[in-house]
Chains A and B, each alone.
Chain A
């Protein structure tokens, strides 16, 4: 009798973080929640492939990232530059209260959309989700140097967009 991994419980507890990552990648909340749902469904179908004792969060993030890449590719370049033109002005405001939070989220999502996908995923994983360089490199299957140089470009672009 071996200890069963806490798959179900951990999955439920990870839902808010998965939604956050999805919002950082997608251009609107509907797409983000669709992505989160597709990730959960895929994870449950392939749960046999998860190695108990390894991190469930990294595994789920990897599934989400791959599904997102598939969507982006199938959509092609068509919608790539759809982020609103006035995003730079929009992001220049400062949040004041809870009512402002949704607008602020929209602004930051728009700013993220203006980053190329390969910078966006690195910024999302490191600056928003709090993963280390090495964990991120492993999740994305990239050399660590590539991760850090994409991060430098991405954060520089965001700094400019926010007018800081």
Chain B
């Protein structure tokens, strides 16, 4: 007997493994429940699919300005320099270093020299991978990890663009190919106290898994397909 509560909790991945297995078996054995599960999955996929387009849409200029306003205040030359010095003496997670370097990247057009190591940058209202992250997305295969960034899945999205999930010690995310660049579709900070190796061993961030799930068309690439896609410039 499957209660309504446990049926939906199962559908939403909220049950522990043994309970989920029990409900799955009951649903599999009951045509009405199977159909109901399919209907709700179709509903959610359509609903989420409609809103997910916003993740890759250009951001309104005013919104980016609002978020930048603060960076202009907090990251001046002196602060950036202090931050660089701090990193030299006490290496911070790569992600923490980004706070300063991204802010500098945003100023690139005006007065500050472009930072060479910001991992993301905003251009035309979109967030793109840069430097080490861009390099990892361009050149790294899932099987051959090196450096701080590791590549997870590679696949095509519904529009046919190639997407790759990535993990570094303090964050994970998904980037999809636009001509010549990797657009960041989502990025998730590691939960408290779950940096580095622990996080990688624990598997994909559930938010990232959900994003991959709603973006992917078909199956993830196997090693051979991944290599072939790289050879063709991720087109």
Contact = CB atoms under 8 A, between A and B. Distances in A.
B186 A16 contact: yes
Interface in B34-82: 39-40, 42-44, 46-57, 59-60, 62-64, 66-67, 69-71, 74-75
Interface string B81-109: 00100100110110110110011000000
B57 A41 contact: no
B43 A159 contact: yes
Contact of B184 (A13, A36, A130): A13
A23 B205 CA distance: 24
Given A1-B86, A1-B90, A55-B191, A159 B70 contact: no
Interface string B181-220: 0001111110111000000000000110011000000000
B43 A20 contact: no
A148 B9 contact: yes
A108 B127 contact: no
A57 interface: yes
Given A133-B12, A148-B8, A159-B39, A17 B70 contact: no
A49 interface: no
A9 interface: yes
Nearest to B193: A53
Interface residues of B, number: 67
A155 B16 CA distance: 22
A103 B199 CA distance: 39
Contacts of B20: none
Contacts of A155: 8, 40, 43-44
Given A40-B67, A133-B12, A164-B43, A4 B83 contact: yes
A10 B189 contact: yes
Given A8-B99, A16-B59, A158 B43 contact: yes
Contacts of A104: 49-50, 53
Contact of A23 (B44, B54, B86, B96): B54
Contact of B120 (A13, A123, A131, A151): A13
A156 to B, nearest CB: 9
Contacts of A5: 96, 99
Contacts of A7: 99
A115 to B, nearest CB: 11
Nearest to B121: A12
20 contacts: A1-B90, A8-B99, A12-B102, A13-B127, A15-B63, A16-B127, A19-B63, A33-B60, A40-B67, A44-B69, A101-B50, A102-B53, A104-B50, A105-B51, A105-B53, A128-B47, A133-B9, A155-B44, A159-B40, A159-B43
Given A104-B53, A126-B12, 12 more contacts: A4-B92, A4-B99, A9-B120, A10-B171, A10-B189, A16-B127, A19-B54, A57-B207, A155-B44, A158-B43, A162-B43, A164-B43
Interface of A: 1, 3-17, 19-20, 23-24, 33, 36-37, 40-41, 44, 47, 53-57, 95, 98, 101-102, 104-105, 107-109, 111-112, 123, 126-128, 130-133, 148, 151-152, 155, 158-159, 162, 164
The 6 closest A-B pairs by CB, nearest first: A130-B210, A108-B50, A13-B187, A44-B70, A9-B98, A20-B54
